[in-house]
Amino acid sequence: MNAQAGALLRLESLDVRFGATHAVRDLSLHIDAGEKFALVGESGSGKSVTALALMRLLRGATVSGRILFDGQDLMALPEKGMRAVRGSRVALVFQEPMTALNPVRQVGRQIAEVLELHEGLNPEAARRRAIELLARTGIVDASSRIDAYPHQLSGGQRQRVVIAMALACKPRLLVCDEPTTALDVTVQAQILALLDELQAEMGMALLFITHDLGLVRRFTHRVGVMERGRLVESGATESVFARPQHPYTQRLLASRPQRRLSAPPEPVQPLLTASGVGVEYVRQRGLWRREAHAAVDGVSLQVRRGETLGIVGESGSGKTTLGMALLALQPLARGEVRLDTDRIDNAAGAALRSMRRRMQVVFQDPFASLSPRRTVGQIVGEGLAWHRPELSPAQCQEAVLQALDEVGLSDRHGVAGLLHRYPHEFSGGQRQRIAIARALVIRPQLLVLDEPTSSLDVSVQQQILELLAGLQQRHGLSYVFISHDLAVVRAMAHRVLVMQRGRVVEEGEVEALFAAPAQAYTRELLAAALLD
């Protein structure tokens, strides 16, 4: 296609600095009218900054270069002229619909506001248009939903409202910054289908900012790959995926989860057995009435030594609550959990303490799972001091260093002065390694991994998965691997459990289950997960 002539948006040597930090370097690209362009890269690559820069929404940044939109240089526009462009000709859809909407105003009012501002509609006409837009974005019963507050809608509905708001003035360019990242896979697929449909109908251009390669491949015409503020490669999506030229693109594409598992162990006595586990949350309804809500409902499972049991499901399916119940961190309403033959759910005192030593946990968010005011040495050494008080301080330190070395953090990996440093001095992947070391140092037999890679970049994710697989082989560890990411579970688990609304809907060997899912829900999940 002859891009240079008909380009809707052209960025010429865009450069963004925040003080000493060079966020975007010499970036040039173009997007044609009606085109779907994706900007991919890992966190910190500058893709979101680029989107904000082209709408001139960056504060405290030094921006240079040219931004040509429809032949007009946005950089030269005064702030007032820019306000007319934002929202009406270029619109933005954010990642997190809950924070993008004002929680104390009805969604209809928020959409109508845009229309009154940019199109000069009167309140009644604006309301009618808002209902049309909501109906168009697939909200059932739009004329009553229009008076709902954001918290009364589901995540997918909220994102539809945000899209309706962005589309209100028929923009020529829609910038979507990770529009589906915060949503469940099945909802993700619906939102993408909606965007696709609307784009074709309205003929607008889409700039898609994402880290999700599967989505890029399915959804966009052209793609640009960013690494540390530079556009390292761009071209038609098919050709970039088929023949990546730049080493970074090749690495990114290769870093999709690979199966690196040892053969499943022989069926022996299970290490962990849960039978009929139920967890209830009690909600106070009025003054006297209490209502029990079953977060986990009658789940039974077994984990053998050296085996990984994957638990998949969407948000609210109860998989994390189940994990906490297995660890005896959540009181059970029904059922029992046994480690070998001993019950852990009603154990207490020394018995519980010795069982705690045998099972540990690694959480999703490496920022929240390490106490920010304790050093790495204190964090990793704490469990050791508690469970093995017979060790001398020198032996403790030795064991801590060994555990850190095992997860790839030590002097010989180029990370010096580890013990006295605080978690915030490490990257996300390194923090997750610290969290794994904290769990490993007391030599547990079972690890509950609660979305251990969900907040990490793809290449880092692959490294952590390899680390976990290696540790399992060396120590014969059992894993309970909780994830919403089917690709990761497929790579990591021997057996898998599919959960929906607190119940197990399907269970089986990973490959068999993924190849021939028996339940409709599982099929839906798999179809939405864009596995290829």
Partner 1 sequence: MTLPIPEETALPPRAAAAAGAASPGGRAWARFRGNRLGWVSLWVFAVLLVVSSLAELVSNDRPLLARHEGTWFVPVLNNPPEVSVGGDFRTPTRWTDPLIADEFAKHGNWALYTVNRHSAQSTNPFSDAAVPGAPSSEHWLGTDSQGRDMVARLIYGFRVSIWFAIVLTAVGTVLGIAAGAVQGYFGGRLDLTMQRLIEVWGAVPELYLLIIFASIFEPSLLLLLVLLSLWGWIGLSDYVRAEFLRNRSLEYVKAARAMGLPHRVIMARHVLPNSLAPVITFLPFRMSGAILALTSLDFLGLGVPPSSPSLGELLRQGKDNLDAWWIIGPTFLLLVGTMLLLTFIGDALRDAFDTRKA
Q: Based on the shown chain and the rule CB under 8 A, indicate whether residue 408 belongs to the binding site for partner 1.
A: yes
C-beta atoms surrounding 372 within 10 Å = 9
Burial 170-187 (b: 16+ CB within 10 A, else e): ebbbbbbbbbbebbbbeb
Residue 439 or 510: which CB sits closer to partner 1?
Answer: 439
Q: Based on the shown chain and the rule CB under 8 A, indicate whether residue 369 belongs to the binding site for partner 1.
A: yes
List of E strands, 4-47: 7-18, 21-32, 36-40
Q: Based on the shown chain and the rule CB under 8 A, indicate whether residue 520 belongs to the binding site for partner 1.
A: no
- Closest C-alpha to 452, from 476, 475, 472, 474: 472
Q: Of the ranges 83-91, 154-162, 374-382, 517-525, which one interacts with partner 1 (CB under 8 A)?
A: 374-382
The mark string for 132-171 relative to partner 1 (x by CB under 8 A, - otherwise) is ----------------------------------------
Residue 60 or 349: which CB sits closer to partner 1?
Answer: 349
Q: Based on the shown chain and the rule CB under 8 A, indicate whether residue 371 belongs to the binding site for partner 1.
A: yes
Helix/strand/coil for 511: helix
Q: Based on the shown chain and the rule CB under 8 A, indicate whether residue 181 belongs to the binding site for partner 1.
A: no
Judged by CB under 8 A, the chain residues 80 through 99 that form the site for partner 1 are none
Q: Give least dist CB 94 to partner 1, A.
A: 25
DSSP 8-state symbol, 76: G
Q: Based on the shown chain and the rule CB under 8 A, indicate whether residue 193 belongs to the binding site for partner 1.
A: no
Number of residues located near partner 1, criterion CB under 8 A: 57
Q: Based on the shown chain and the rule CB under 8 A, indicate whether residue 427 belongs to the binding site for partner 1.
A: yes
- Which of 467, 488, 496, 498 contacts partner 1 by CB under 8 A? 467
Distance CA 65, CA 75 (A): 8
Q: Of the ranges 73-81, 134-142, 372-380, 483-491, which one interacts with partner 1 (CB under 8 A)?
A: 372-380
Exposed (0-12), middle (13-18) or buried (19+): which is 324, by Cβ within 10 Å?
A: middle
Q: Give least dist CB 310 to partner 1, A.
A: 20
Q: Give least dist CB 316 to partner 1, A.
A: 17
Q: Give least dist CB 278 to partner 1, A.
A: 20
342: amino acid identity, one letter: D
Q: Give least dist CB 376 to partner 1, A.
A: 11
Q: Based on the shown chain and the rule CB under 8 A, indicate whether residue 415 belongs to the binding site for partner 1.
A: yes
Residues ≥6 apart with Cβ < 8 Å to 516: none
The mark string for 383-402 relative to partner 1 (x by CB under 8 A, - otherwise) is x--xx---------------
Q: Based on the shown chain and the rule CB under 8 A, indicate whether residue 327 belongs to the binding site for partner 1.
A: yes
**If residue 32 lies in a helix (H) or strand (E), which one and from where to where?**
strand 21-32
Q: Based on the shown chain and the rule CB under 8 A, indicate whether residue 382 belongs to the binding site for partner 1.
A: yes
What sign results for the dihedral spanned by CA atoms 204, 159, 24, 219? negative
Report the Cα–Cα distance between both ends of the chain, in Å, rounded: 28
DSSP 8-state symbol, 412: G
- Which of 3, 200, 368, 520 contacts partner 1 by CB under 8 A? 368
Q: Based on the shown chain and the rule CB under 8 A, indicate whether residue 318 belongs to the binding site for partner 1.
A: no
The 3-state DSSP composition of the chain as helix, strand, coil percent (nearest 5) reads 40, 25, 35
Residue 218 or 413: which CB sits closer to partner 1?
Answer: 413
Helix/strand/coil for 259: coil
Residue 33 or 419: which CB sits closer to partner 1?
Answer: 419
- Which of 459, 475, 485, 508 contacts partner 1 by CB under 8 A? 459
C-beta atoms surrounding 58 within 10 Å = 18
Residue 199 or 459: which CB sits closer to partner 1?
Answer: 459
Q: Give least dist CB 425 to partner 1, A.
A: 4
Token code pair at residue 57 = 């929404």
240: amino acid identity, one letter: V
Q: Based on the shown chain and the rule CB under 8 A, indicate whether residue 365 belongs to the binding site for partner 1.
A: yes
Residues ≥6 apart with Cβ < 8 Å to 380: 400, 403, 404, 434, 437, 438, 441
Q: Give least dist CB 466 to partner 1, A.
A: 5
Helix spans in 407-451 (H): 428-440
Q: Give least dist CB 291 to partner 1, A.
A: 17
- Closest C-alpha to 172, from 44, 8, 294: 8
Distance CA 6, CA 88 (A): 20
- Which of 460, 488, 513, 525 contacts partner 1 by CB under 8 A? 460
Q: How many CA atoms lie within 13 A of 166 on its CB side?
A: 29
Q: Of the ranges 25-33, 58-66, 175-183, 456-464, which one interacts with partner 1 (CB under 8 A)?
A: 456-464
Number of helices (H), then strands (E), in the chain: 21, 20
Residues ≥6 apart with Cβ < 8 Å to 395: none
Distance CA 506, CA 491 (A): 18
- Which of 89, 145, 160, 438 contacts partner 1 by CB under 8 A? 438
Q: Based on the shown chain and the rule CB under 8 A, indicate whether residue 59 belongs to the binding site for partner 1.
A: no
Under the rule (CB under 8 A), what is the footprint of partner 1? 324, 327, 329, 352-353, 356-357, 359-361, 363-365, 368-375, 378, 382-383, 386-387, 406, 408-409, 413-417, 420-422, 424-427, 429-430, 433, 435, 438-439, 442, 457, 459-460, 463, 466-467, 470, 473-474
